[in-house]
Amino acid sequence: MSIDLSRSSAAVGIERRFGEVALVATAGAVLYRRTTTVTPADLSATPAATTAAFVAEPELRWQWRPGGAAIGVAASAGLDVVLGAPDLAVARGADVISIGAVRMLQPRFTGAVFADLR
């Protein structure tokens, strides 16, 4: 069985900087698009569905530009708190069976090299 799940989001936020460190808080909406593409013979794919959810994203960011250079490095750690995340389900006859769910708490870690092009 293959269940494909894509995620799109839009959010607004505020950032408070303390030198190289920033605290960020964002909130917005996330859309999950689910499709079941392959199933065993005794299962039927459930119809494709789009689920909307609320997301809040606290984050801690750090960036460093050695000597004020235009190129630097950045790292961040955050947590996506998703209210209303979807279940993944298949249909067996008239029954719909949940085979998993998207977690409400989703940790996020990133690293980057950036350039200030001003």
Q: What is the pLDDT of residues 107-116, one digit of tens each?
A: 999 999 999 8
| pLDDT over 70 at 10, yes or no | yes
Sequence letter at residue 88: L
Determine the average pLDDT of the residues in 86-110: 84
Query: pTM of the full predicted structure?
Result: 0.73
Q: Using alpha carbons only, what angle is made at residue 110 by residues 57 and 22, rounded to the nearest 5 degrees?
A: 60
- What are residue 22's DSSP bridge partners? 17, 61
Q: How far apart are CA 101 and CA 3, in angstroms?
A: 12
pLDDT tens profile 36-79: 776 677 666 667 788 899 999 999 999 999 988 899 999 999 99
Strand ranges (DSSP E) for the chain? 2-18, 21-38, 49-64, 71-83, 87-92, 95-101, 105-115
Determine the average pLDDT of the residues in 92-98: 79
| pLDDT over 80 at 88, yes or no | no
Pick the closest to residue 89 from 53, 36, 38, 52 (CA basis). Answer: 36
